[in-house]
Amino acid sequence: MKLKKRLDEILTQSSFTQSTNPIVISEGALQSLVDYVTEQPIQHLLVVVDEQTLQAAGQEVGHMLTEKGIKVATHCLQPNQQGDVIADEQSIVDVLLHVQPETDCLLAVGSGTIHDVVRFVSAKTEKPFISVPTAPSVDGFNSKGAPIIVKGIKTTFQTVSPVALFADLTVLCQAPSSLVAAGFGDMIGKYTSLIDWQAGAAIANEPYDQEIADLTREALESCVEVADQIGNREKEGIETLMNALVLSGIAMAAFGASHPASGAEHHLSHYWEMHFLEEGHKQLYHGAKIGRSTLLIIQYYKEIVRASLRTEANKKSEQLISLIDSLPEVSEVEALLRKAGWHPEQAPIDEELIQLSLLKAYHLRDRWTLLRYYHETLQWVPDL
């Protein structure tokens, strides 16, 4: 398997700065986790789960570790009124209250949200954490960034990566198909994040690293090749997707920021998420939104931004046009998403919110994207 080999190379030759090691993505990874913990100076573990991930793996992990004589405390994060577990002040305090002086290590068992809460607490308490993803749903498991909702605003804090990651393919293959489709959606977002990153370098000299960009693209393309197997939740497809998500996380950790994996498509998704929170709507999966926002951004860049750039006849606009030209067609990307089990109904965003986000979402991050360039530089502004 191409990506597995790439990951092994990175872990053994450490050409990238990244601190998560070992990373085990295999059948039987939960046993590898137990072996790892027993070899470390770990006596007290705090396992953080939610109700679903307790069933998916939390309980089993707890039993396996207790049998080896490890003292395991489990904290189950509770959903809000809409039924969502949110990475916010409340969840952080809940976990902090369960960290004891004798806690040696935290274990995040579950989704991206659980990981974000645990990674934040891990950084604040200076206690390491181990990642146990239960679905290939997002690329943030092993990154340092923790997007946290503080007073209703989503802010990404640079915190810590897990010291180790164990993803058991048996658990991952049983994950709900909508979560698998969301993971694929998060990877598909790299089509636009990668060109936004290059555009940012061209527009404003934002830092850029070709090797890290290549790694992210390799991860994206490998997933695209097996979209069918991912949709059918076949082992090979799920393994490729999980490896791709982890490699994307490594790319972000190595770069020290989320540029490789997060461009305008992520800004749109964050904007929608904040709006949903304000309105008290039930949240959508991150990757389901990214699938939708990537389609919208590709369309916007190809139809609106490109036309505007064409009126500018200079070297920079030619360069930016060629970036847009390198994007696949909306229909192609939508077909891929559908193969992997994604449907537009998984991200129902009304037209008004879409238009508002296309206008305003770029303000959420101090980062150059083609969307921001279009609004701040290209659009004709009347002299007042």
Residues making contact with Zn ion (CB under 5 A): 186
**In the complex, residue closest to Zn ion by CB:** 186
Crossing angle of helices 264-279 and 351-360, in 10° steps, is 130
Reduce the DSSP state of residue 110 to 3 states and report it: strand
Nearer to Zn ion, 62 or 189 (CB): 189
CB of 140 to Zn ion, least distance (A): 6
Please state the closest distance from residue 266 (CB atom) to Zn ion, in A: 6
Residue 256 neighbours by CB distance under 10 Å: 14
Which residues touch 62 (CB under 8 Å, ≥6 apart)? 47, 72, 74
Residue 41: CB atoms within 10 A of its CB come to: 6
Contact predicate 168/145, CB 8 Å? no
Instruction: Considering the complex, state which of residue 283 and residue 317 has its C-beta at the smaller distance from Zn ion.
Output: 283
Least CB distance to Zn ion at residue 139 (A): 6
Q: In terms of CB distance, is 156 or 222 closer to Zn ion?
A: 156
Strand 129-133 relative to strand 105-110, pairing? parallel
CA distances from 38 to 71, 119, 131, 193, 224 (A): 11, 22, 16, 40, 38
Between CA 378 and CA 381 the distance in angstroms is 9
DSSP lists the bridge partners of residue 331 as none
Q: Which is nearer to Zn ion, 50 or 186 (CB)?
A: 186
Would you say 273 or 306 has its CB closer to Zn ion?
A: 273
Smallest gap from residue 39 Cβ to Zn ion (A): 33
Q: What angle do CA 149, 153, 159 make, to 5 degrees?
A: 45
Q: How far is the CB of 193 from Zn ion (least distance, A)?
A: 8
- Specify the residue, 229 or 294, whose C-beta has the smaller distance to Zn ion: 294
Please identify, using beta-carbon distances, which residue of 134 and 317 lies nearer to Zn ion. 134
Nearest-approach distance from CB 244 to Zn ion, in angstroms = 12
Query: Which of 140, 181, 111 minimizes the C-alpha distance to 345?
Result: 181
Shortest distance in whole angstroms from residue 265 CB to Zn ion? 9
